Amino acid sequence: MKRFRFGTEEKMKNVLLIGDSIRIGYDKAVKNTIGNRANVYFPEENCRFASYVLRYLHEYKGILGDHPVDVLHWNAGLWDCLRLFGEEPQTPIDVYAYYIDRICMRIQKLFPGAKVIFATSTSVQSELMEPDFKRYNEEIEAYNAAAVEVVSKYGFQVNDLYAASITLPAEAHSDPVHYYTSMGTKCFTEQVLSYLLPALDIDEELEYREVLHIKKPIGI
């Protein structure tokens, strides 16, 4: 178990998870699996689209009080590429890239010294969605590519959750967008941990401890 010290008091490292309802599907399982090896924090709310993350990033930092964030894992994108009532995406892709860039700059300001990991948005079942509420995997891929291009310029790691999601069968879905099933939760939790553990200098093999999110997603 790796820790560091402030004076004579031993402290565990701190992880902050930020993101939309996909993050809500794995955050508690990540925390439960890491156990007492590190402190894992996350907002109770859905962090929605990129401009929302930019607005509230400093408040999410406040969840930890005065404690530093050692590892930040974040995502934004599924709300941005949502098409309502047959209209254009909620956030045009160039505006999305602009906000991702501003978030990166804000991260550098608020979390100096933190290891930063950006997660791509996951795939959806477009054919099962209502006509007035649509997402398309081709657009998710384009938004992911735009975000990865930006975050890579800042030296942030990229956790390709999209690539993990397309390996899952249909039964891993709890609805056309989410993966609130044992299979989906385990896949994403283990994928996230594969990035968090090295960043935390944890080199032991952890036993997966499932926590399923059972509430209906907000603003899917």
Give CA–CA dist 80/10, Å, rounded.
41
Q: Write the pLDDT tens digit of every residue in 4-47.
A: 333 333 479 999 999 999 999 999 999 999 999 999 999 999 99
Q: Provide CATH code, domain 13-199.
A: 3.40.50.1110
- CA 176 to chain centroid: 18
Q: Which two tokens stand for residue 101?
A: 């860039």
Give the mean model confidence (pLDDT) for residues 119-144.
97
Which of 31-40, 154-163, 185-194, 211-220 comes out lowest in average pLDDT? Answer: 211-220
Domain extent listing, the chain: 13-199
